[in-house]
Amino acid sequence: MYLKRSLPFALAILNILDVTTAKPPNIVFIISDDQDARLGSLNYMEHVQKDIIGAGLDLSNHFGTVALCCPARATLLRGQAAHNTNITHVGGPGGGYPKFRRSGEMNDYLPHWLNKAGYTTAYIGKFMNGYGANSPPPLGWDIADILISPYIYAFNNVVMKRNGERPVHYKGFHQTDVLRVKAVDLLESFTADDAEQKPFYLEIAPVSPHVSGGGFPTTPQARHMHAFPGVVAPRTPNWNTADDELQQGKAAWVRDLPVMNKKVVEASDASFRARLQGLLGVDEIVEDVVALLAKKGLLEDTFIIYTTDNGFHLGQHRVPGGKGLPYIEDVNLPFAVRGPGIACGKVSTIPSTHVDIAPTLLDIAGLPRDQWPPFFDGRSLLPEWQNPEYYASENGNVDGIEREIINVEFWGSATAPAGKYTTHWEHNSYKSLRIVAQNGRQGWLFNRWCTGNQTELYDTVADPYELHNLALDPDVETKRLMDRLSALLLVTKSCGRESCRKPWEVLSEACAQSSVLASSNDFKTLDQAMDTRYDPFFESLPTFGFQMCLPYQLPSNEGPFFPAESEDLGREYRDAATEFAFWLNNGTFAVDTMSLHGDLGQRYMSFEDLSAGARDLTDEEIGWPSIECKAPDYCGTDDDD
């Protein structure tokens, strides 16, 4: 009798215990390098399509906020806009691994927070530019097996350093194969029967489809080199713009570009094909990761995220290749996620950015909010991923976050890789603001460049290929619109925390307090802000402009600041890092054979096959003992972006 009654009760308690002590989900985060969302690259990735997009949620309005590898990765790992990390380029003085370390940001970023949430953390692949044989390993990861410079873009000459150990040369293998085999091996060990019962976070960061050294196309595995014959870069309406007048309406170096000739077009198309071929290797990583998790019965307990660091263009606006521009091809990113509770087989149009990813991962990991760092500029996307239709609707904006406003920024030089026609441009600094059209509202792209404060305005609804610069000859209405966008840019270009999430609120409060306007007022959208009674307020605000073109972020070059305290630019949460050096790796080069690796046999190689071909770098190759690394923070190497 007693037993009969207490059994369901005991089971109920067990259930409650089960819920409260449930192990948080595992997370596999796969990040390719320089992959476009707008040129169709995802259409060539069968497993990303079937196993992630088809089994999860595709974010069609996900954006990068800085279109360059190292700053984008720092933003992902810290949950902050680049103007707050101050990791703004691939090398010094703007950014690079030594600066991330020197600034102390490496003491307070993603893996530490996930450790607090009880996770085992691992990183495999490309971390940040400037990580070399002599660099101390990144902190926080249980396992950090990182590609080192100067081998990062040498796809058939793989050298990696695991934790603080001596770098290892994997002679005879293609980089993407090495990363795949290592990732699967790690997953095997995390899920082995005798493994620690901890959730894991595994980040896999292949370099493909990034260009090889010198601006030449990426190098795919040998088995993929002949895929997609005859495929050329898509001739989008903004591809190789024929109209000189349209072209000259653009800004900085782009406006003066000539029409790409036949040779340049061929180089650009060859790059496009090589990228698709290289991505087949990345797709195999997805295939094997999913297969292993399925085999272990863990597919339903694991989040799998697929994205990239920044986008890419090939021929748009006459630029034969590259990234770093504020136009849609470089900032709208592939982003797909599957996992427990995530909407399945759907597309979400809710705007989001890479700044939001760190808080989202902590939300998935179940780290209590009082243990989150105080400096996040974004929001957790988890509720939106679980319920995209609701958050996309007019009623969904329960938290007042101004999701449609996207801040994009850049400092310093840009490269336009096109094989032997590669060009390099010094002055590519700009501040950019995008209003993503949602619920039938307006959509705009507004840019201000360091080159004489040139301004661009595109109506992204009527002109989605961003061809007609409306800032050149604005009529009265356009002028009023530009006053609003200019005011928003003044806030977003140096926002921090809440002001990044709600820039209209900053302006609306200032408006309420301003003597220009009598009654108190409230606007939360562009439509509301366009009311003519706010004209005097918006006209009274200063405009943002650069004093000059600099390759890094200097506050005195980028004023004014609104509100004034935003001039702090995240300095409260990091150390000054003005003194750090990049050491050129002066060891001798570990040479591989000249042949192309990654034949069909290596598609199914084992971890043992990989290990059999591995050897430690010699002292001479590392640059020892000639390099005495007295101050480990200063060690690193310079390389391509």
Ligand X SMILES: *[C@@H]1O[C@H](CO)[C@@H](O)[C@H](O)[C@H]1NC(C)=O
Nearer to ligand X, 383 or 545 (CB): 545
Determine the 3-state secondary structure of 518 from DSSP.
coil
Window contacting ligand X (CB under 6 A); options: 176-184, 217-225, 293-301, 570-578:
570-578
The secondary structure element, H or E, covering residue 358 is helix 357-365
Output the smallest distance, CB 248 to ligand X, in A.
19
Residue nearest to ligand X (CB): 545
Out of 268, 429, 553, 602, the only residue in the binding site for ligand X (CB under 6 A) is 553
Name which of residues 419 to 458 contact ligand X (CB under 6 A): 452-453
- 332/349 Cα distance (integer angstroms): 12
Out of 80, 86, 308, 415, the only residue in the binding site for ligand X (CB under 6 A) is 86
| 545 in contact with ligand X (CB under 6 A) | yes
Instruction: Put the strands of the sheet holding 57-59 in their side by side order.
Output: 346-348, 57-59, 335-338, 302-308, 26-32, 200-205, 120-125, 143-147, 158-162, 168-170, 614-616
Output the smallest distance, CB 459 to ligand X, in A.
24
Out of 371, 626, 631, 632, the only residue in the binding site for ligand X (CB under 6 A) is 626
Sign of the C-alpha dihedral computed for residues 470, 476, 477 and 483 taken in this order: positive
Out of 543, 557, 603, 609, the only residue in the binding site for ligand X (CB under 6 A) is 543
Output the smallest distance, CB 635 to ligand X, in A.
11
Output the smallest distance, CB 571 to ligand X, in A.
5
Residue 426's closest CA among 302, 275, 293, 550? Answer: 550
| 132 in contact with ligand X (CB under 6 A) | no
Nearer to ligand X, 281 or 623 (CB): 623
The secondary structure element, H or E, covering residue 540 is helix 535-540
CA angle 13, 14, 19 (to 5 degrees): 100
Out of 44, 228, 372, 552, the only residue in the binding site for ligand X (CB under 6 A) is 552
Judged on CB neighbours under 10 Å (0-12, 13-18, 19+), 214 is exposed
Nearer to ligand X, 107 or 547 (CB): 547
CA dihedral 628, 632, 633, 637 (to 10 degrees): 50
Out of 23, 226, 420, 571, the only residue in the binding site for ligand X (CB under 6 A) is 571
Output the smallest distance, CB 464 to ligand X, in A.
29
Window contacting ligand X (CB under 6 A); options: 37-45, 71-79, 132-140, 548-556:
548-556
Asked if 288 contacts 184 with a C-beta cutoff of 8 angstroms, the reply is yes
Output the smallest distance, CB 103 to ligand X, in A.
8
Total chain residues near ligand X (CB under 6 A): 20
The CA–CA distances, whole Å, from 453 to 348, 414, 547, 549, 575 equal 35, 18, 9, 10, 30
Out of 381, 471, 487, 569, the only residue in the binding site for ligand X (CB under 6 A) is 569
Window contacting ligand X (CB under 6 A); options: 146-154, 484-492, 513-521, 571-579:
571-579
Output the smallest distance, CB 270 to ligand X, in A.
36
Peptide bond into 474 cis (omega under 30): no
Backbone angles phi, psi at 487, to 5 degrees: -65, -45
Nearer to ligand X, 223 or 448 (CB): 448
Backbone angles phi, psi at 338, to 5 degrees: -125, 155
Tokens at 473, concatenated: 């000859």
Window contacting ligand X (CB under 6 A); options: 1-9, 67-75, 153-161, 621-629:
621-629
| 373 in contact with ligand X (CB under 6 A) | no
| 578 in contact with ligand X (CB under 6 A) | yes
- 148/136 Cα distance (integer angstroms): 11
Out of 586, 593, 611, 618, the only residue in the binding site for ligand X (CB under 6 A) is 586
Determine the 3-state secondary structure of 420 from DSSP.
strand
Q: Pick left, alpha or beta for residue 440 (phi over 0 → left; psi -120 to 50 → alpha; otherwise beta).
A: left
Nearer to ligand X, 86 or 175 (CB): 86
Judged on CB neighbours under 10 Å (0-12, 13-18, 19+), 543 is middle
| 618 in contact with ligand X (CB under 6 A) | no
Window contacting ligand X (CB under 6 A); options: 144-152, 167-175, 422-430, 569-577:
569-577
Interface with ligand X by CB under 6 A: which residues?
A: 86, 93, 452-453, 543, 545-547, 552-555, 569, 571, 577-578, 586, 623, 626-627
